Amino acid sequence: MTKGLTKSFKKALWVYHCNSGSCNGCDIEIIAALCPRYDAERFGIKLVGTPRHADALLITGPVTRQLVEKVKRVYEQMPDPKAVICVGNCGNTGDVFYESYNLVGPIDNVIPVDVYVIGCPPRPENIINGVTKAWMKLETLEAKK
């Protein structure tokens, strides 16, 4: 019974979305990827409401000072193996908010990132592609065990 539970992402990847201070442009594109036009759920990609059930963390925006500990806590609550997908230029480099007084910086300054999805905002196709890359990473980690 436990063997099936460890390989749950073979058929479906559960993703937790976290906004660490973005302008909501990336968040709107994530919702667009889940809507009928792109329908990411047909590939088995499903948003979940808690990081404790997630296989991957989909995070948007640069990390503000108020959210550093919260982002770390969300990351620590996720079970292993896990993948982190950074969506948008703000989360990747800081983009227009670079060197702002209230930012810690890009997401990889706080937690390790596995997949970077570029764009301001990124297209839904790119987001789905980034999630599939994280999915392949998780499958290779599971295969090594």
Domain that holds residue 91: 11-144
The partner residues of 9 in beta bridges, in order of sequence, read: none
Query: 93: alpha, beta or left, given left = phi > 0 and alpha = psi -120 to 50?
Result: alpha
Question: Is residue 127 assigned to a domain?
Answer: yes
In this prediction, residue 34 carries a pLDDT of: 85
Q: Is residue 6 part of a domain?
A: no
Q: How many CB atoms lie within 10 A of CB 99?
A: 7
50-101, pLDDT tens digit by residue? Answer: 999 888 899 988 888 888 999 999 999 998 889 999 998 888 887 777 778 8
The answer to whether residue 3 is domain-embedded is no
Question: Is 58 part of any domain?
Answer: yes
In a domain, 2, yes or no: no
As a whole number of angstroms, the distance between CA 76 and CA 71 comes to 9
Bridge partners (DSSP) of residue 14 are 46
Task: Read off the tokens for 52.
Answer: 């404790």
pTM for the structure as a whole: 0.84
Span 121-134, average pLDDT: 88
Kindly state whether residue 67 falls inside one of the protein's structural domains. Answer: yes
- Put the strands of the sheet holding 56-60 in their side by side order: 45-47, 13-19, 56-60, 83-87, 115-117
Residue 142 token pair: 């599971």
Into how many domains does the chain fold?
A: 1
Tell me, what CATH number does 127's domain have?
Answer: 3.40.50.12280
**Does residue 47 lie in a domain region?**
yes
Q: Is residue 116 part of a domain?
A: yes
